């Protein structure tokens, strides 16, 4: 039996909604098949008021062993570093976060807000939000760069806006069943099993990417979304086209550009007007190249690919 506590800071509950839609395994499977005991969750917990307060105190003191502490949302530090804009159970949430993280065997940060600050931490960041161990790309965050939980791991970051439900439940199962040692984390403490490949890996538009045929409007079934509509699939680490959403689709498959939400910089360009859903270019060439591709190579590749493009690449091949 592994005790799990889930709290929310500066959050929209999107990751909770995602979590509740998990299928492989489902949220119920965690309890019935994998021995996870959900001590409390903002949407599922039965205790109220003093009951929650006592439970939190018992987790901090060790009276209740806390195996997994899950945090969703940013750690709010406003105003002036006090954290009083996000009070919970009688004190700033950031104080609970620090003490519970120190008491837990494992700390899991779910979603962009908890991992790197996400949208709330976008400039000018009025809520002085940060992630658990990062603020955007900078190490540190609420727990500090050197933090490791009792089991010896830093916070396990599962980013996304929201995180895919099965990324969440599969990591929780790994941790709860004693297989945390099998988890390899990348430089941003993301499980490498999910965040080494790209969103583009498995995208149904890869042929259009290869032949440089662009989608020019949302929802078009032909064409690649990278060239014009700002898709960040070629430079975003996620398995969105390998572990499908709702088990059947993804943003790019549905004609919606990837927003790069599993990367620390999300939302990109601080949401300045004209930067969303539009590929940013400099003199006609994309500012952000697919990861590992140089500008000169890209230009040469474009010329060759356009010259070699077959006729079908310009047509809608996903007919119904």
Q: Which is nearer to another protein, 140 or 290 (CB)?
A: 290
Place of tokens 């919606």: 256
| Least distance in angstroms from the C-beta of 274 to another protein | 5
C-alpha–C-alpha distance, residues 95 and 275, integer Å: 36
| Least distance in angstroms from the C-beta of 253 to another protein | 21
Does residue 121 contact residue 266 with C-beta atoms inside 8 Å? no
Q: Which is nearer to another protein, 184 or 287 (CB)?
A: 287
| Least distance in angstroms from the C-beta of 204 to another protein | 19
Does residue 260 contact residue 266 with C-beta atoms inside 8 Å? yes
- In angstroms and rounded to an integer, the radius of gyration of the C-alpha atoms of the chain is 21
C-alpha–C-alpha distance, residues 228 and 231, integer Å: 8
| Least distance in angstroms from the C-beta of 77 to another protein | 33
Is the bond leading into 267 cis (omega within 30 degrees of zero)? yes
Q: Which is nearer to another protein, 179 or 295 (CB)?
A: 295
| Least distance in angstroms from the C-beta of 296 to another protein | 11
| Least distance in angstroms from the C-beta of 304 to another protein | 10
Give the residues lining the site for another protein (CB under 8 A).
212-214, 216-217, 227-228, 274-275, 278-286, 298-299, 302-303, 306-307, 309-311, 314
Q: Which is nearer to another protein, 307 or 320 (CB)?
A: 307
Strand, helix or coil at 8?
A: strand
Q: Which is nearer to another protein, 144 or 310 (CB)?
A: 310
Q: Which is nearer to another protein, 61 or 216 (CB)?
A: 216
What's the helix, strand, coil split of the chain in %, to 5? 30, 15, 55
Does residue 109 contact residue 71 with C-beta atoms inside 8 Å? yes
* Tokens encoding 41: 């969750």
């Amino acid at each position: 039996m592994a005790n799990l506590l889930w709290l929310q800071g500066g959050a929209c509950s999107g990751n909770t909604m995602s979590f509740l839609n998990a299928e492989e395994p489902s949220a119920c499977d965690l309890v019935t098949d994998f021995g996870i005991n959900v001590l409390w969750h903002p949407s599922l917990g039965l205790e109220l008021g003093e009951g929650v307060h006592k439970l939190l105190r018992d987790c901090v003191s060790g009276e209740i062993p806390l195996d997994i502490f899950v945090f969703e949302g940013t750690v709010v530090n406003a105003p002036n570093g006090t954290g009083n804009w996000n009070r919970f159970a009688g004190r700033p949430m950031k104080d609970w976060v620090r003490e519970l993280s120190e008491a837990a065997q494992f700390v899991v940060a779910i979603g962009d807000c908890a991992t790197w600050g996400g949208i709330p931490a976008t400039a000018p960041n009025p809520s002085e939000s940060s992630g658990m161990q990062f603020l955007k790309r900078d190490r540190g965050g609420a727990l500090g760069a050197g933090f490791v939980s009792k089991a010896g791991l830093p916070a396990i970051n599962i980013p996304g806006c929201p995180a895919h439900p099965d990324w969440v439940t599969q990591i929780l199962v790994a941790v709860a069943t004693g297989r945390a040692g099998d988890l390899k984390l990348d430089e941003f403490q993301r499980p490498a099993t999910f965040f080494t490949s790209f969103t583009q890996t498995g995208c149904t538009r890869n042929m259009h990417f290869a032949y440089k045929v662009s989608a020019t409007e949302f929802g078009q079934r032909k064409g690649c979304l990278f060239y014009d509509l700002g898709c960040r699939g070629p430079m975003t680490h996620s398995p969105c086209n390998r572990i499908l959403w709702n088990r059947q689709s993804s943003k790019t498959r549905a004609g919606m550009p990837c927003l790069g939400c599993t990367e620390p910089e999300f939302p990109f360009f601080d949401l300045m007007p004209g930067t969303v859903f539009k590929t940013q270019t400099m003199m006609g060439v994309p500012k952000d190249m697919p990861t590992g591709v140089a500008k000169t190579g890209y230009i040469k590749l474009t010329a060759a690919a356009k010259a070699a493009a077959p006729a079908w690449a310009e047509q809608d091949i996903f007919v119904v």
